[in-house]
Chains A and B, each alone.
Chain A
């Protein structure tokens, strides 16, 4: 089998082709004739609709057909009558009490069958129908389930084709996550660096401020110290003179 399939599978590795054919090949050939025998058990052939034809409920139709070519239609009846008369006259069949009983029983049976036969047959047919319908329903149910399973399987196979889109979306998501993370970290780095630089700047400002303040204070202190009391008196007298001069000029104007 592999030898015959080899040209169809050119992609099969050469190593596999060089192996001897598997044992299953010869076994398969021996099992093949089993399916060509006449008795094939599945699916069973359906039952025949009607049984063999029987006339008067007792004698098969084949008997009448057998005698028809030689004796025509009335042949078997003549044969039956003659046989009956022979049996009775020769006392091969003895008429006794059982004959009467048999006649009564037979008449009752035949009356019953003729009157209620069709009803009983219809009832039995209905029972059979129900059984067959149940089995058929089970079979149809199973077929329907399998068909839905097949459809779902095909749908799954179709879904497989969308794998690439799914993976692209996932890849995008992951890239976005990475990007976000990277930017967050960049932001923290920037914030930290800024904080440190701000600290340095604030430090320098503070230092300059302090130096300025200190210098101003020192200058003020020295100036205040350098103002001797004599200088103070002189400056106060000068101011008074200036004020007088001004007031005079204001009075004159």
Chain B
């Protein structure tokens, strides 16, 4: 189908810049994209009849990684490593 309506996984590598150009990077577009991503994740892993630990554990793992990334500068300092 047309380029702008395909999802990221269906876009070939050489079409990637063109596909990025068709993306909507305004504030509303970004918020809409975040909303869509969250709702698709929610519907796939959390809003089911018999879910498991997978739904929130992935969210927690992502949170751990993100917080490690944000605090990396502080963690890697020698003063922090020596203190405890």
Q: A and B: real partners?
A: yes
Indicate if the CB atoms of B49 and A117 lie closer than 8 Å: no
**CB < 8 Å neighbour of B55 from A49, A51, A96:** A51
By a CB distance below 8 angstroms, the chain B residues around A51 are 44-46, 48, 50-52, 54-55
Q: Is A97 an interface residue (CB 8 A)?
A: yes
- With both chains docked as a complex, state the minimum distance between the C-beta of B44 and any C-beta of chain A, in angstroms: 5
Q: Mark B66-84, 1 if CB is under 8 A from A, else 0.
A: 0010000001100011001
Q: Is B23 an interface residue (CB 8 A)?
A: no
Of the four ranges (under 10, 10 to 19, 20 to 34, 35 or more), the interface on chain B belongs to 20 to 34
**CB < 8 Å neighbour of A94 from B47, B51, B55, B75:** B75
* Chain B residues touching A, majority SS: helix
By a CB distance below 8 angstroms, the chain B residues around A50 are 48-51
Of the four ranges (under 10, 10 to 19, 20 to 34, 35 or more), the interface on chain A belongs to 20 to 34
By a CB distance below 8 angstroms, the chain A residues around B44 are 51-52
Q: Mark A100-135, 1 if CB is under 8 A from B, else 0.
A: 000000000000010001000100010010000000
Indicate if the CB atoms of A54 and B54 lie closer than 8 Å: yes
Indicate if the CB atoms of A97 and B84 lie closer than 8 Å: yes
- With both chains docked as a complex, state the minimum distance between the C-beta of B14 and any C-beta of chain A, in angstroms: 19
Pick the most buried of B52, B80, B84: most chain A CB atoms within 10 A of its CB: B52
Indicate if the CB atoms of A94 and B76 lie closer than 8 Å: yes
Indicate if the CB atoms of B47 and A47 lie closer than 8 Å: yes
Indicate if the CB atoms of B49 and A54 lie closer than 8 Å: no
**CB < 8 Å neighbour of B75 from A47, A54, A96, A113:** A96
Of the A-B pairs whose beta carbons lie under 8 Å apart in the complex, a sample of 8, sorted by A's number, is A47-B47, A50-B49, A51-B50, A54-B45, A57-B53, A60-B58, A96-B75, A97-B84
Residues of A within 8 A of B (CB): 47-52, 54, 57-58, 60, 91, 93-94, 96-98, 113, 117, 121, 125, 128
- With both chains docked as a complex, state the minimum distance between the C-beta of A145 and any C-beta of chain B, in angstroms: 30
- With both chains docked as a complex, state the minimum distance between the C-beta of A181 and any C-beta of chain B, in angstroms: 79
Pick the most buried of B55, B57, B61, B84: most chain A CB atoms within 10 A of its CB: B57
Pick the most buried of A49, A52, A113: most chain B CB atoms within 10 A of its CB: A52
**7 further interface pairs, Cβ-Cβ under 8 Å (given A51-B46, A51-B55):** A49-B48, A50-B50, A50-B51, A51-B54, A58-B54, A93-B68, A117-B53
Distance in angstroms between the alpha carbons of A113 and B56 in the assembled complex: 13
Indicate if the CB atoms of A94 and B81 lie closer than 8 Å: yes
**CB < 8 Å neighbour of B54 from A49, A57, A91, A125:** A57
By a CB distance below 8 angstroms, the chain A residues around B47 are 47
**CB < 8 Å neighbour of B49 from A49, A57, A96, A98:** A49
By a CB distance below 8 angstroms, the chain A residues around B84 are 96-97
Indicate if the CB atoms of A121 and B57 lie closer than 8 Å: no
Indicate if the CB atoms of A58 and B81 lie closer than 8 Å: no
By a CB distance below 8 angstroms, the chain B residues around A54 are 45, 52, 54, 58
- With both chains docked as a complex, state the minimum distance between the C-beta of A208 and any C-beta of chain B, in angstroms: 119
